[in-house]
Amino acid sequence: MNTQTPPFLEIRNLRHSYSQPVKSRVQALSLDHMSAAKGEAVAVVGPSGSGKTTLLHILAALICPTGGEVLFGGRDIFAPHQSGALWRAESVGYIFQEMNLMPGFSALENILLAAEISNVPGFVARERANSLLQRLDLWNQRNRRPAELSLGEQQRAAVARAVVHSPSVILADEPTASLDAENAGIVMNILTKLCAESQTLLIIATHDEAVKTRFERVVQLQRPQKEAI
Ligand SMILES: Nc1ncnc2c1ncn2[C@@H]1O[C@H](COP(=O)(O)OP(=O)(O)OP(=O)(O)O)[C@@H](O)[C@H]1O
Ligand SMILES: [Mg+2]
């Protein structure tokens, strides 16, 4: 009998190619194997076009890979009858390079909206949002809209929005790319601390050497060689 617990995340023979209008496909990602435990922090690095964003989109079930498997807790997230939307709402926090905060809503409202989408009860969401705003040093800015926040404040609000529903994995795509070194350090510190405290798997795609050196686990992607037909 196999009594081994599967790793929290396991990727097997993952491939993705995007279809193009003129009957060709762009080979975008090739990753034979990767596994990670809860609470681990992993940096995904590689040259531009090597598939870092594609990988994060697949892990968030925003796109379905053209080959291979992604298992979380031993369960294939792309198996028939699995809902990508449910997986995202319950288990994923996503941080974008460009923050993607909703422009018409305040920092607090952006965080509460994300909590609502993930079905966090209102009073729990408020309590968590308040505590995150304080920890992220955003309390005094909580009623300001994104355009009224500095880039560092916007990215901290994006971190709060990504973690408010206590996801089991945080996917962060170049989260420090728009920030200066000081703000990048602040965002990375709080992100790694929040994830370690709650045993959340953190996967960061980055070009930034200063960010990369913070991680014991680094997954290197290579630009796929061939154009698929
Ligand atoms: N929607 C799409 N349709 C067609 N091709 C795409 C699409 N998105 C990405 N690609 C291509 O797939 C490959 C991988 O892109 P991806 O954005 O994942 O790379 P990346 O490693 O994140 O790059 P960067 O470091 O510049 O952000 C590239 O060749 C890109 O042009
Ligand atoms: Mg990218």
* Residue pLDDT, tens place only, 8-17: 999 999 999 9
Per DSSP, helices labelled H in the chain are: 52-59, 84-91, 107-117, 122-135, 151-163, 181-197, 209-212
User: Of residues 2 and 43, which shows the higher confidence score?
Assistant: 43
Identify the band that residue 23 occupies on the pLDDT scale cut at 50, 70 and 90: low
Give ligand 1 pocket residues (Cβ under 6 A). Answer: 18, 26, 28, 46, 48-54
User: How far is C-alpha 69 from the geometric centre of its chain's CA atoms?
Assistant: 18
Q: What is the pLDDT of residues 112-128, one digit of tens each?
A: 999 999 999 999 999 99
Neighbours of ion ligand 2 (CB under 5 A): 52-53
Cα(9) to centroid(ligand 2), Å: 21
121: left (phi over 0), alpha (psi -120 to 50) or beta: beta
Pocket perturbation via mutation, ligand 1, pick of 50, 58, 212, 225 by most ligand atoms within 8 A of CB? 50
Asked: is 38-50+83-220 a CATH 3.20.20.370 domain? The reply is no
- pLDDT tens-digit map of 62-74: 999 999 999 999 9
Is the pTM higher than 0.85? The answer reads yes
pLDDT of residue 226: 62
Ligand nearest to the CA of 29: 1
Summarize pLDDT for 141-161 with one digit per residue, the tens: 999 999 999 999 999 999 999
Q: How far is the CA of 47 from the centre of ligand 2 (A)?
A: 9
Tokens of residue 71, six digits: 């298992």
Task: Output the pLDDT for position 26.
Answer: 84
Find the ligand nearest to 225 CA.
Answer: 1
Label residue 3 by pLDDT band (50, 70, 90). low
Find where tokens 């529903």 sit.
165
Spans of all domains in the chain: 38-50+83-220
Residue to mutate, 25, 54, 173, 223, ligand 1, most ligand atoms under 8 Å from C-beta: 54
Q: Measured between alpha carbons, how far is 70 from 81 in angstroms, rounded to an integer?
A: 15
Ligand 1 centroid vs 27 CA: distance in angstroms? 9
User: What pLDDT is attached to residue 172?
Assistant: 97
Among 195, 155, 225, 229, which Cα is nearest to 36's?
A: 195
Question: What does pLDDT average to over the chain?
Answer: 92
Cα Rg, the chain, nearest whole Å: 18
Contacts of 81 (CB under 8 A, 6+ apart): none
Mutate to test the pocket of ligand 1, among 27, 44, 52 (most ligand atoms within 8 A of CB): 52
Confidence of residue 1 (pLDDT cuts 50, 70, 90): low
Give residue 173 CA to ligand 2 midpoint distance, Å.
7
Q: Measured between alpha carbons, how far is 90 from 137 in angstroms, rounded to an integer?
A: 26
